[in-house]
Chain A
Amino acid sequence: MSQLSLYCVDAVLLLDNAGKRIYSKYYSAPHQEQGSAGATGTLAGSLNQELEYETRLFKKTQKQNFEILIFEERLVLYKEYVDMSVYLVGPLEENELVLQQAFSAIKDSLELILATGIDKKNILEHFDMVALAIDETIDDGVILETDPATIASRVTKPPSKEAQINIELSEKGLLSAWGFAKSKLAERLQQGL
């Protein structure tokens, strides 16, 4: 019956090119009693177990362009970037293409929100947004959303400092500059009246 469960993601991991974790999230159902779900066994364990698992996983996948493999009785989807990799771990019996959807959702939404591409520095700098994006994709093992644009739109940017004028000369920046000028102008006009 467990295949009918919505809990179909065991973990999402971001590891750097030495196999050290950048972001890790092992999922377990929030209100499940400990041990009752033990039959299938969640991947989450003590910190040491998790770290060991990551090291083994990294060793197995590093520099081998598999994209998908079976690792220790679980399906693993992953993608290597310049100096880091993204992993998604799911149960062995899950539909591979469903996991693929969730995986692409994470990948593509990260690409959208990290404008200059996925790399370790970028992720660490925008850690809040990365964490939010992954949280918007998978909620404790349940796939929440698979459309990257939707996910990206749900991730808020960090608040800018009050009245900080931020003019970028990209199309977006011009638009916001126009909006800013318009509001200022309206303010002035109102004051003038």
Chain B
Amino acid sequence: MSTHTYKKFEEAVSGVLPDKMTVYQECLNAFNESPVNAKRCRTLISRLLQLLAQGETFPKTEATALFFAVSKLFQHPNDSLRQIVYLAIKELSVISDDVLMATSSIMKDVQNGSDAIKPNAIRSLTRVLDETTAFSAERLFKSAVVSKHPSISSAALVSSYHLLPVAEATVKRYISETQEAVSDLKTYPYVSGASDYYPNSTYISQYHALGLLYMLRNSDKIALMKIVQQYSGGNVLKNQLAQVQLVKFVGNLLQRDPNVISQFAPLLSGWLTSKHESVQLESAKLITSLPDRNVSPDLVAAAIQTLQGLLTVPRVTTRFAAVRVLNRISMVAPQKIVVCNPELESLINDSNRNISTYAITTLLKTGTSNNISSLIKTITKFIHDISDDFKIIIVDAIRTMAFKFPEEWKSIFDFLINTLKHGDGGFIFKNGIVEALFDLVEFVPQSKETVLENLCDFIEDCEYNEILVRVLHLLGKEGPTTKNPSLYVRHIYNRVVLENSIIRSAAVVALSKFAMVKNDPVLLNSIESLLRRIRNDPDDEVRDRATIALEFIEFSKSQPEAEVPQELINLTYSYDLGALESKLTHYMASNQDSFRTPFDSSSVQKLTEEERKATEYKKRQEQFSAKLSPGKESTPSRSTDADKANGNYSGPTMEEHGEDLRATRYAEELSSIDEFAEFGAIVNSSKDVPLTETEAEFVVSGVKHIYNSHVVLQFNITNTLSDVALDNVSVASTPEVGETSPLNELLTIPIDRLAPSETAACYVAFSKSESIVTEGFLNTLYFTTRELDPATGEPFEGDEGFQDEYEIDSLFITAGDYIKGAFVGNFSASYDELAHSEVAVYNIKEDNSLQEIIDKIIANTNCLPLENSQFATLDSNSHTLKVFGKGITGGARIGLVVRMIKSSKGIALKAEGKSDDAELCSDVVNELV
């Protein structure tokens, strides 16, 4: 071993790289040597590449010097040196100047080089070309694309693909050659002794050609259809990546026009049985992601069968991919994949924890009340062996179960409390369990006492302050209304004796709540004496709180009818936190008179306990049935989010936040308009209702704002035209019943000018004479179009514009607009309490599924679906939907039970409504659909 190789060996092993300036100098010297020492140069370039791969970069001048030094080596005839030179050129072209200079020498190689390095030359050529020089390489690329050598053809196709953004016109000139390359099956020429390996063509140039072809034709739907038809038949496409690409083509076409499904259905079902797993997977993915109405149930069933088959293959990646798709389906339509349950169950113990987690969460979604307890048993067995991340995901899934099967709360609760007490785990995991238990207390009333008692045991030895404080808060909130409050008082007082000051202060607040709520003089007295003792606490915060609590108790004793202390200690409402936050930020940012005006909290929406619960409940439901959107899967990746956010794991996502802020935003917008100031505060704002097709020239959506004695319709209008501005845009809304309507139009606020691709709002205000008015509005959009001068973006001078009108859909104010969803723990009990009842019967002739009807009813009534009745089971023809809500003005409660039966003639509905308010009740029941 010579000293030189020895040295290299040593460096390589220790992983210590030579200094980059040394490499730089050595490179420059060696590359300029004459004759060139090929072996040494290759070693040096290898070092250079190693440096670059480590993330080292060179300053621009040095990189350029290197680039030119390297390009001198083109003259060397040795292929193995030239190959690495091309790689170096590729890497260096990113960081050096004047790379264009190398173009001609590379081009020479593309023309005359040997087959071994031609592909490399072509691929580096792309890096040195730019939009001004690309055309000069057209002939080279064209001849390379049609080359019989697969590597050369692939290199040219991929390089053209890279060039597309700068030189689409050039690439388009050899579109027919590209098309040929798709169907051309190229094989490697047999060269004896050229290499130790026997290249076996995978025909991958088909994949590259197809990818390029799509980019060149993507604006032409017909051409794409033709491509699919041409290449799907027979044995044209041999390469499996190319076949996958073709499946994606079809997916893309279906996205553009869902109606072409009939043409592609046979193709898709053929692909499901393809010999390549990747093709099976891609088509199954595609089929199951299509909306239900566009695809026949048979095809979906076949796709699921394919996935089921993929679940049992020995390859990890395949199982992973299949279970991931199933997991995605389970969030939208768990009933479809119940057939896969046996396979999923066997995956629970899969060696890849990602797969087993997917399997479990999927199973939890497809679970029925029959197998839920056995499923939970299986999970209990292995929950202790897995990492925290997965535990969190499983606990999350179990938490949603509690919503789905409130009657199974006992086994869910047992599982939670066992893992909480016996499992080790970090804060996030424990907190997840406690959150789940909180949910149980809040939404499954019958579980309350058991859960609270067990939580009391748990806080006896809990190492996390945050969790302790939260549990104490919950005990303070829920404990006083239980049968045996003194039990909790004992536990809470134990904390005061044993814990640190933070927990002590939380415990004091909890204790004071027991004193205030319960009209139990014995308990009150004992708490008082406890609080007196606490007044000697060493920590001043604890002392303060105890003193205040005692003051309140004294005060309410002397004036039993006073509500102040009651309200302060036991809040009956909370602020809409999202709204409060945005208001406060606004207040802080504006800082008009250095905060001399105090913050006005009355403008923030207050939520009563019930309303808060209803929104929470709805959020959970939405989480539970979260529709699939890219990147929003509840997958193991969530745990990484949790890692990152470190504690902020259950914070609402931006979208949810946006939803919260919707009402606030409207309120702000409208209150800034002087005309509406006298109407008072908005009582309720509806969601956006689209009134036109989304492809229309003018996209309009409507929002209904209800005031105490007024109604304001807001029309959000988007001008999608690029060269026309709209002036004086107004909407004429006429009540359908005409003159007799209880609504009187007051004013219209038009939009002065709507520039291209802008959105603005036009308002129409009505006064209403009755508290609840339901009405339909016929709407027409009036406007003057003005063509714009493309140079200035202003209308042409002297252009009068011309008046036009545009029919848009009707907007309906329904009884639902006067209702907000409300949560009740025990539906039937609350329902029976209500006084006025009303029954209506409907027959729906259209061919709708039960689920569509359910969704429509929920949207129309604005009520909160309870007892998990918002999901219809696929295999049954009848369903009962239970919803509950509260009137926005009077606070009248309303409950609805809708029974529906689907037959060949359509769907029959029988709606029974009960409410405190007879008018509201009849309005809702009679305007259900």
- A interface residues, Cβ below 8 angstroms from B: 1, 3-6, 16, 20-25, 29-33, 36, 47, 50-51, 60, 64-73, 77, 92-93, 95-101, 112, 120-121, 124-125, 127-128, 131-132, 135, 139-140, 142-147, 149-150, 152-161, 172, 179
Please choose the segment from B315-323, B329-337, B457-465, B910-918 that sits at the chain A interface, where 4 or more of its residues have CB less than 8 A away. B315-323
Residue of B nearest to A92 (CB): B631
Assembly CA distance A20 to B15 (angstroms) = 10
Which residues of chain B (43-87) have a CB below 8 Å from chain A? 43, 45-47, 49-50, 53-55, 57, 78-81, 83-84, 87
Q: A1-B218, A97-B317 given; name 10 further pairs at CB < 8 Å.
A: A31-B163, A97-B277, A98-B241, A128-B42, A131-B46, A139-B158, A153-B196, A154-B119, A156-B80, A159-B81
- Closest residue of chain A to B317 (Cβ to Cβ) is A100
Interface residues in B265-292 by Cβ distance below 8 A to A read: 276-278, 281-282, 285
Question: B83–A145 contact, CB under 8 A?
Answer: no
Contact A64 B281 (CB under 8 A): no
A154 touches B151 (CB 8 A): yes
Q: How far apart are the CA atoms of A69 and B582 in the complex, in Å?
A: 38
- CB pair A112–B53 under 8 Å, yes or no, is no
Q: In the bound complex, do residue A158 and residue B42 qualify as a contact, i.e. CB atoms below 8 Å apart?
A: yes
Instruction: Tell whether, in the assembled complex, residue B199 and residue A147 are in contact, meaning their CB atoms are under 8 Å apart.
Output: yes
- In angstroms, Cα B197 to Cα A172, docked, is 11
**20 pairs, CB–CB < 8 Å, chain A vs chain B:** A4-B211, A6-B158, A31-B163, A31-B166, A64-B353, A66-B316, A72-B640, A96-B281, A97-B277, A97-B321, A131-B49, A131-B53, A132-B87, A139-B158, A143-B204, A149-B199, A150-B188, A154-B151, A159-B42, A161-B39
Q: How far is the CB of A19 from chain B (nearest CB, A)?
A: 13
Please give the number of chain B residues whose Cβ is less than 8 angstroms from any Cβ of chain A in the complex: 91
Q: Which of B138-146, B245-253, B406-414 contacts A (4 or more CB under 8 A)?
A: B245-253
Decide: A132 near B84, CB < 8 A? Known: A124-B15, A127-B50. yes
A31 touches B165 (CB 8 A): yes
- Within the complex, the shortest CB–CB distance from B477 to chain A, in Å, comes to 38
Q: Does B201 contact A (CB under 8 A)?
A: yes
Q: Which DSSP category, helix, strand, loop or mixed, fits chain B's interface?
A: helix
**Do A68 and B12 touch (CB < 8 A)?**
no
Docked CA distance A20–B17 (Å): 13
In the complex, the answer to whether A68 meets B640 with C-beta atoms within 8 Å is no
Contact of A65 among B53, B317, B320, B352 (CB under 8 A): B352
Q: Is B38 an interface residue (CB 8 A)?
A: yes
The smallest C-beta distance from B364 to any residue of chain A, in angstroms, reads: 19
* Chain A residues whose CB sits within 8 angstroms of the CB of B197 once the complex forms: 112, 149-150, 152-153
Among B15, B163, B198, B635, the residue within 8 A (CB) of A153 is B198
With A142-B208, A159-B81 known as contacts, the answer to whether A4 contacts B188 (CB < 8 A) is no
Q: A6-B161, A30-B162 are in contact. Are A132 and B83 (CB under 8 A)?
A: yes
Q: Say whether B179 faces chain A, with CB atoms less than 8 Å apart.
A: no
Q: Which residue of A lies closest to B83 (CB)?
A: A156
Q: Given that A125-B9, A142-B208 are contacting pairs, would A92 and B630 also be in contact in the complex, using a CB cutoff of 8 Å?
A: yes
> Please, which residue of chain A has its CB at the minimum distance from the CB of B241?
A98
By beta carbon, the residue of chain A nearest B310 is: A97
Please state if B204 and A146 are interface contacts (CB–CB under 8 Å): yes
Of A22, A24, A144, which contacts B154 at CB under 8 A?
Answer: A144
Query: Known contacts A64-B353, A65-B351, A65-B352; is A101 also within 8 Å of B278 by CB?
Result: yes
B244 and A98 within 8 A (CB) = yes
A96 touches B320 (CB 8 A): yes
- Give the number of A-B contacts (CB < 8 Å): 222
Is A68 in contact with B204, judged by CB distance below 8 angstroms?
no
Contacting pair B352 A4 (CB below 8 A)? no
B residues within 8 A CB of A140? 162
Residue in contact with A150 in the complex, picked from B53, B202, B281, B354, CB distance below 8 Å: B202
Tell me whether A97 and B318 are in contact (CB under 8 A): yes
Q: Is the CB of B241 within 8 A of A101?
A: yes
Contact A160 B39 (CB under 8 A): yes
The answer to whether A144 and B158 touch across the interface, beta carbons within 8 angstroms, is yes
Residue of B241, B251, B278, B637 near A71 (CB, 8 A) is B637
User: How far apart are the CA atoms of A66 and B822 in the complex, in Å?
Assistant: 45
Q: In chain B, residues 7-55, which have Cβ atoms closer than 8 Å to a Cβ of chain A?
A: 8-9, 12-13, 15, 38-39, 42-43, 45-47, 49-50, 53-55
Give bound CA distance, A47 to B640, whole Å: 22
Distance, CA A64 to CA B9, complexed state (A): 31
| Interface 0/1 of B188-206, CB less than 8 Å to A | 1000011111111110100
Cα–Cα distance between A125 and B14 once the two chains are bound (Å): 11
Q: Pick the contact of B199 from A70, A100, A150 — CB < 8 Å?
A: A150
* Contact status A4-B252, CB under 8 Å: yes
B317 touches A68 (CB 8 A): yes
Give B318's nearest chain A residue, CB to CB: A97
Contacts A31-B162, A68-B320, A158-B42 given; does A135 touch B204 at CB 8 Å? no
CB of B115, distance to nearest CB on chain A (Å) = 10
* Contact mask for chain B residues 763-787; partner A; CB cutoff 8 A; 1 contact, 0 none: 0000000000000000000000000
Question: Is the Cβ of B635 less than 8 Å from the Cβ of A70?
Answer: yes
State whether B244 touches A95 (Cβ < 8 A).
yes
Closest to B164 in A: A31
Q: By the criterion CB–CB under 8 Å, are B640 and A157 in contact?
A: no
Question: B391 in the interface, Cβ–Cβ < 8 Å?
Answer: no
B365 contacts chain A at the CB level, 8 A cutoff: no
> Which 3 pairs across A and B sit closest by C-beta, in order of nearness?
A156-B80, A97-B278, A128-B46
B14 to chain A, nearest CB (A): 9
